[in-house]
Amino acid sequence: MTKQSSFKRAARERARATGQRYTQARADLELANRQEFIHSRPFEQVPLKAHLEQQYGIEINSILPIDDDPATRPDGSWPGHYPSTLVVKHVDGQRWIARIFSSSADRVSRVQGDAEILQFLAAHDFPAERIARDDPVTALGGKGIIVTKFIEGGRPSSPAVWHELGDLLGRLHTLPAAGGAVARDGGAEETDGGFHVGRPKEDLAAAMSFLISVEDEVNAAAREKFEWLRDQVEKADDAEGLPEALTHGNYHPWAAVGIPGNLSIVGWAGSGRGPRLPALAWLLRTAAEHNATENIAAVMHGYSKHVRLGDDERHRLPAILNMRALWLECLGFRMTVNDGRIPAMDEGWMQPNSHEHAERVAAQAIAAVRN
């Protein structure tokens, strides 16, 4: 079978499973195939379907990445954004989420740790996704798969979620210390295939790796931004030495599912024990994108019900506010260079005025809980 005929077959199968017209299914598949991490955790649907049916004694109607079907695609997402987070539709109408960890860096033991953390959260009545079975982790070809219950309601978009997200993060950061997976290193983003999973400082290692991977392709027009970003990564605050807690690796509204007032937090693969400030900082950074003053205050009022920032945290907050933004901008730089375009200095998550922006956000956050 040629590559073109294989692509057309995949588009037809997508159209059948989602109910889309063939032309739309094909356009979505083309978009998905252009995404940065589309191939970071590969899998084949037919063996996966057979594996899950055999392991759990279920009959499956379809397995699709959550972004593939417009009916399950989170608000604001797009095809290929979450390629290894799958909706498993049972013949009886039940739905699960299956997450595949199949990169060369992924380990089944880490996925088993994810399940252990979800069980810990359930035992402490923290609103997170719940495991679908008592044995939620299996291995296919030596790579881990975890199944959790599908949460209805989709991704919330109400402005009211900022206070709730702050409150939930404060609750998370005050859960009791424990051993096992709860004590593992955590807090970094892991969607690059888990190559830099661990404490938040791993985000900086990942950011540098994004830059280095395209260094030889950087032309004169892109050199200024390359060197500026490299300098920012080298000088960045890694949050080490700050107070620690069980924390989440990508905490912002896209990690929440459900109805405002009854949200659940999902995506715990990057979780573990690490400095607590980066998770709050990323939530604040995203809160500042729109209606900054109100949203920042809402986050801080929710969070401070449980946690009061220490002097060191308040002092280092401006720098930590740019940690995840720097990760994103270095990733964006790599994508832009690989696309043959020229990265602009004054665009994106991280640019020369980002430091002043972070100072303003930090000042607003601190002032919100002084009033």
User: Token pair of 286, please?
Assistant: 């995203």
Query: pLDDT tens digit string along 299-320?
Result: 999 999 999 999 999 999 999 9
**Chain segment 36-71, per-residue pLDDT in tens:** 666 778 888 899 999 999 999 999 999 999 988 888
Give me 293's structure tokens.
């003053």
3-state secondary structure of 57: coil
For residue 39, give the H/E element and its range.
Answer: none
Place of tokens 């949050």: 239
> Residue 261: what residue type?
G
The H or E element containing residue 145 is: strand 143-149
Per-residue pLDDT of the chain (371 residues; tens, 9 = 90+): 455 556 566 667 666 666 667 676 676 566 556 666 667 788 888 999 999 999 999 999 999 999 888 888 877 777 777 889 999 999 999 999 999 999 988 999 999 999 999 999 999 999 999 999 999 999 999 999 999 999 998 888 777 899 999 999 999 999 999 999 999 999 999 988 889 999 999 999 999 999 999 999 999 999 999 999 999 999 999 999 999 999 999 999 999 999 999 999 999 999 999 999 999 999 999 999 989 999 999 999 999 999 999 999 999 999 999 999 999 999 999 999 999 999 988 888 999 999 999 999 999 999 999 86
pTM for the model stands at 0.91
Measured CA distances, 298 to 146, 258, 317 (Å): 34, 19, 17
Q: Which domains does the chain have, with CATH numbers?
A: 3-149 (3.30.200.20), 161-368 (3.90.1200.10)
Q: For position 154, what pLDDT does the model report?
A: 84
Measured distance CA(105)–CA(202) in Å, rounded = 14
**Tokens 């300098």 — which residue?**
231
